[in-house]
Chains A and B, each alone.
Chain A
Amino acid sequence: MWIYEKKLEYPVKIKNPNPKMAKYIITQYGGPDGELAASLRYLSQRFSMVTPQARATLNDIGTEELAHLEIVGSMVRQLMDDVSIEEIKESDLGAYYADHDKAVYPISAAGNPFTAAYIQSKGDPVTDLYEDMAAEQKARSTYEWLINLADDPDVIEPLKFLRAREVVHFQRFGEALRIVQDKLAEKKFYVKKPE
């Protein structure tokens, strides 16, 4: 089960609303390389993962991604706070506003709603871990493009934090992969009993 802790993993304190930035950053909420996809991917894959180390890694990184989802949602909400209809129209957020007002809804920057098609859970532990390492790289790149789009330090600092976590997660999945590959290589030397 999960226990909610009433605080963010990293603080979000954005003084100046910026609806344009909200429209970009929401992609890490419900986009193809976003935190919701990451969390669902790892928490689903853990059921069929092998080795205690790799199982724990998927469980714990999947959990941390939920905390990142909350950070990104908080950023989107604060960026849309107190924004006037005029500003919404000017910033291309009008289409979003028509469907969701200033609520937080899982879509990509281009407006595609979240879909489980973004993730895979293949049942092959090696395949899943390679997917996870690729996912961490894709998310890292997305955070870099978002940092390029931003100019407010209140926005850039949490983006840098989230990017740094992708690097650490990649390392952990890489170590988990080593353990899984070793484990599976061991098995190949087992002599099959004759029928």
Chain B
Amino acid sequence: MDKNRQKLLKQLSALDFMAVDLNLYLDTHPYDRDALLRYNSIVMQANALRSYYERMYGPLYSFRSTSDYPWRWINNPWPWEYEFNFKLAGEE
């Protein structure tokens, strides 16, 4: 499997997860300036990485990402498949 894709996906998943957790924190702490700065910074890093990933490996979003010809959205693997995912802990 494509090692570079998995490495990118791991970085992107990690940044997106930080964004999820900070988003929930901000929902109950809307006036926390420091948390908001961190959130914005994480989202900007994630967006840059996402554009790069999509250019290399195809669309990530349904009806929000553009695609090369032919329509790449339908390409395997899908996220529930073994081949799609990266190994987070343990052997690298």
Contact = CB atoms under 8 A, between A and B. Distances in A.
Does a CB–CB distance below 8 Å link A and B in the complex? yes
A150 interface: no
B28 A172 contact: yes
Interface stretch (A4-12, A95-103, A106-114, A139-147): A4-12
A56 to B, nearest CB: 4
Given A11-B88, A157-B89, A53 B82 contact: no
A176 B10 CA distance: 31
B52 interface: no
Contacts, number: 89
Contacts of A12: 80, 85
A160 B20 CA distance: 17
Contacts of B69: none
Contact of B27 (A74, A78, A172): A172
Nearest to B12: A7
Given A53-B28, A57-B27, A74-B79, A11 B62 contact: no
Interface in B12-71: 12-13, 16-17, 20-21, 23-25, 27-30, 59-64
A172 B24 contact: yes
Contact of B85 (A13, A61, A168, A172): A13
B24 A6 contact: no
Contacts of B29: 175
B9 A179 contact: no
Nearest to A73: B80
Interface residues of A, number: 34
A194 interface: no
- Interface secondary structure of A, over-half rule: helix
Given A57-B28, A168-B21, A175-B28, A5 B82 contact: no
In this complex, which of B28, B30, B60, B64 has the most chain A Cβ atoms within 10 angstroms of its Cβ?
B28
A70 B61 CA distance: 16
In this complex, which of A5, A74, A179 has the most chain B Cβ atoms within 10 angstroms of its Cβ?
A5
B86 A11 contact: yes
Given A53-B30, A74-B80, A172-B28, A11 B60 contact: no
B59 A6 contact: yes
Interface string A80-109: 010000000000000000000000000000
Contacts of A57: 24, 27-28
A3 B63 contact: yes
Given A4-B61, A13-B86, A61-B24, A70 B78 contact: no
